[in-house]
Structure 1
Amino acid sequence: MKIRNRLTLISSLTFGFVFIIASVLIYFAFYNSSEKVVFKELQKTCLLSAIYYLEKDELPHYEHSAIKEQFEENIQNDIVRVYDLNNVIVYGEKEADRNINPTNLNFIRKNKKLSFKSNNHFYYGIFYNDNQGDFVVFVKTKSEVFKSQTNRLLVIMIVVLFGGLFLIFLLSRLLSNIAYRPITNVINQVNSMELSSLDDPILSSNTNDEVQELIATFNNLLSRLSDTFAIQKNFINYVSHEFKTPLASISGNLEVFAQKDRTPEEYQKVTSEALENVYHIEEILNNLMMLSGLKTIHQENETFRIDETVWDINDQIFETHEKQEIGIDLDVKNEELLSVKGNEVQIRLALYNLIENAVKYSEGNPIKISLSEVNNQLQIIIEDYGKGILKEDLNYIQQTFYRGKNVGNIKGSGIGLSLATIIFKQNNIQFAIHSEENSGTRITLLFPKL
């Protein structure tokens, strides 16, 4: 069942249920109230009848005449019977009533009054003490008017119920269409999407409700899908390019090498070049495997000295870049901050990638690594003064396989920075990058408290 139909059905059923409950309460309240009014009027008629029949000998003529007028006016649709102590009808309607029996009469003499109803009549009786003796006065009236009023009320409520249900159905249908309109708009936009248009977000409804949250969530999903497709495309381009170059070099050298006999020095040179290309391919595969493993495997943490790791990386970098000047500034008074908790191998790899990138893109300028404490937390800053990163590349530079437009002929895989980003995230290390073109890059790491 569609949401619109479900909303309409629920609204109609809710209104019907509430109205039926309210109608039942109103009906019974009216029924009981009307009964009380009828019995109250019968009580007045009983008393008036008793005065009319039993006080004639004691009242002045003019007063009795006034009572007679009231009696005749009120008794038009009522039947009165006055019983003596022997349960004999002495005044009023002489024909006996089977609903008025000795038990009822004795009950009235004991309790002073009695009211009840039969199928078609209401009865009310009172005990009346007179100088002529003790009497019981009974008044009976038809229930036709009472039933007519209650039946009329019942019919009105039934008509209102069905009319209200119909009106609520129409209003619910209208409101559900209005409420569902943003969802319909989203469905139409989604159905019109193609793979090439995943970058185009769904237009917001600006309703500040759950639909708005749904659109924001879906746009976020589209953004991630678009990034995933871009990564896949970059991956294919990257693998084909990075593998093609060393493989072409290996095959070319071997083809030339196989054309004639070579000297031992030439054998050594070709073998070295082939091994260098094989190692390059192996490095690419290792990076890809590590990148995949980081996203799926959780490794246990350990506590280690981060300053020692930085010095080890500095020594390792110096082996391949002897002329590169790297300054390390240690300004941490609380030595406990230098002990960090995390995966040492992963954090070491991430720091190495960052420092190596700083060396590659520094254009020979000095590199500065600072270790300091900020708000009782360890902060590491890696800063170079090289070519920097273009402003339009900053939003994408941490994506896998993405390389800046100004890297030139500098070799790279586009994996190192994204690998470091994932490692820092898994180890709860805050990572920020600031860069300006031709001014250099500044990377800030803030380690969590132990």
Structure 2
Amino acid sequence: MKIRNKITFRFTVLVFAVISLFSINIFFFSAQYRHEQFYSRLTDRAITTATLLIDVQEVDSVLLKIIDKNTIVLPNEKVEVYNSKGEKIYCSNENDFSCISKSLLLKIKREKEVRFDGGKIELLGLNYKTSAGEFIIVASAYDKYGKNKINHLRTILIIGLIVSALLTMVIGWFFSGSVMKPILRVISQVGKINDRNLNIRVDEGKGQDEISHLAYTFNKMLDRLQKAFDIQKSFVSSASHELRTPLTSITGQIQVTLLKERTKDEYSKILQSIDEDIKHLNQLTNGLLELTYLSMDAQTIRFEKIRIDELLWSVRSEYLTQKPGNEVLLDFNIFPDHESKLMILGNDYLLKIAIKNLIDNGCKFSDNHSIRIKFNYTENSIILHFNNNGIPIPEKDMENIFLSFFRSSNSATISGHGLGLSLVKRIIEMHNGTIHVTSNSEEGTSFSVTLPIANN
């Protein structure tokens, strides 16, 4: 069911329920009022008859009947008077059959007042006491006009209820249409947006309502999508270029070599050059594979408790084995008293990639191919500072330093493909950590990595 139909249906049901409750109350209280009014008239009629018959000496039963015939009476009205022995001493209409039983007379005498509604006839019994003795008065009649009014009121209320429901449905349909109009406008605008026109934005309007907030939220999502698409396009373009460069170099060298016969030394030099290009291509491919691995859902990657000092020593050993011409210094001058301050929750493989890339980056850009890793900690975090004394990163490049395939303007003479720091940032963020960089000519370049302690 569409939202517009739901709003119309619920609005109609709600209004119908309120009007129904209101109509039921009107009918109920009107019926109660008719009932009380009719019995009040019966009471007046009964007491008047008893007073004239019993208390007024000049009036006897014959005269009272003459008076009753010339008095406006209720439909099927009859007044009967009984003495204390239950003997009838007066009846306003002798032609009607009396249905007053002995048990009813005893009940009236005991309870003082009895009311009985028999449908067409309503009856009132009173225990009437005077100086002349105790009497029982029974008055009955049919409230024709009162019941007709109530029936007429019921008909009006039912017809009014049906008409109100239909009017409410129509009004609700137009009302829900006006409510849905801004939503439909947003839906229409969103439907026109695709991967080829992500620059289009939904009109947020000038209001501060939920629809404006929805449009604003959707536009923020589009901003993120557009940024992701731009990064993807840039990534594909850069990856294609980086892959094409060594392949073009290899192809060119092979084609040139095949043009004529070469000496053994010339073949050796060409093969060495091709080998370097293949190594570079292999490093780039590994980097792309690692980026793809990091794009996986973090829940599919296994995390476990790791001692950061042991991890640093292990990475240092592996790195120096692969590149023995560099120097990696570990500074643990500030060391915790308890082992728990050294534990982090992470993936050993990924953290090794991140630390190895930071070490390799520091050694490549350092003047003496050396990097110092300084350990520190707080109550909730472990902090690692990767410091090198190489040429500083230009200020204009600082904000792009962690983008894939980005290379600083002062790194043209240094080998690399611009994936290392991008990998590092993704890995650190996957471990709920942060990474910041500072760089100047006096202190060199420092990457600060903060990781949460496992117990926290």
- TM-score tier by shorter-chain length is 0.7 to 0.9
1:358–1:159 CA distance, 2 compared to 1 (3 A): farther
Distance 1:204 1:438 in 2: 47
1:64 aligned residue:
none
Distance 2:87 2:56 in 1: 21
2:436 aligned residue:
433
Partner amino acid for 2:393? G
Alignment of 1:217-256 (within 5 A): 217-256=217-256
Distance 1:215 1:404 in 2: 37
- Which structure 2 segments of 5+ residues have no match? 60-65
- Cα deviations across residues 299-355 of structure 1 (Å, max 9, x unaligned)? 242423337616854983797595x88776544241533443422231121122234
Distance 2:40 2:372 in 1: 103
Distance 2:124 2:446 in 1: 102
2:334 aligned residue:
332
Deviates more, 1:361-370 or 1:147-156: 361-370
- Quick check: 1:403 aligned with 2:406? yes
The Cα RMSD (Å) is 3.9
1:184 aligned residue:
184
1:388 aligned residue:
393
What's the offset of the Cα at 1:259?
Answer: 2.8
The count of aligned residue pairs is 438
Question: Match of 2:353, SS?
Answer: helix
Distance 1:91 1:237 in 2: 114
Distance 1:74 1:306 in 2: 113
- Cα deviations across residues 10-30 of structure 1 (Å, max 9, x unaligned)? 100121123223432442243
> Share of identical aligned residues, percent?
24
What's the offset of the Cα at 1:287?
Answer: 1.7
Partner amino acid for 1:83? Y
Alignment of 1:132-147 (within 5 A): 134-147=134-147
What's the offset of the Cα at 1:375?
Answer: 3.6
Alignment of 1:17-416 (within 5 A): 17-57=17-57, 78-84=77-83, 85=85, 87-88=87-88, 90-129=90-129, 134-205=134-205, 211=211, 214-296=214-296, 297-306=300-309, 309=312, 312-313=315-316, 316=319, 329-334=331-336, 336=339, 337-360=341-364, 369-375=373-379, 377-383=381-387, 386-388=391-393, 394=399, 398-399=402-403, 401-403=404-406, 406=409, 409=412, 411-416=415-420
**What is the TM-score when the length of structure 1 is the normalising length?**
0.80
Determine if contact 2:198/2:222 at 8 Å carries over to the other structure. yes
- Which structure 1 segments of 5+ residues have no match? 60-67
Determine if contact 1:202/1:219 at 8 Å carries over to the other structure. yes
1:266–1:441 CA distance, 2 compared to 1 (3 A): same
Distance 2:397 2:141 in 1: 97
Distance 1:39 1:414 in 2: 101
What's the offset of the Cα at 1:89?
Answer: 5.3
What's the offset of the Cα at 1:423?
Answer: 1.7
1:402–1:153 CA distance, 2 compared to 1 (3 A): farther
Distance 1:71 1:411 in 2: 128
Determine if contact 2:439/2:446 at 8 Å carries over to the other structure. no
Determine if contact 2:373/2:385 at 8 Å carries over to the other structure. yes
What's the offset of the Cα at 1:156?
Answer: 4.1
Question: Match of 2:278, SS?
Answer: helix
- Cα deviations across residues 79-105 of structure 1 (Å, max 9, x unaligned)? 422234465452422223455445433
What's the offset of the Cα at 1:190?
Answer: 0.9
1:153–1:226 CA distance, 2 compared to 1 (3 A): same
Distance 1:375 1:253 in 2: 58
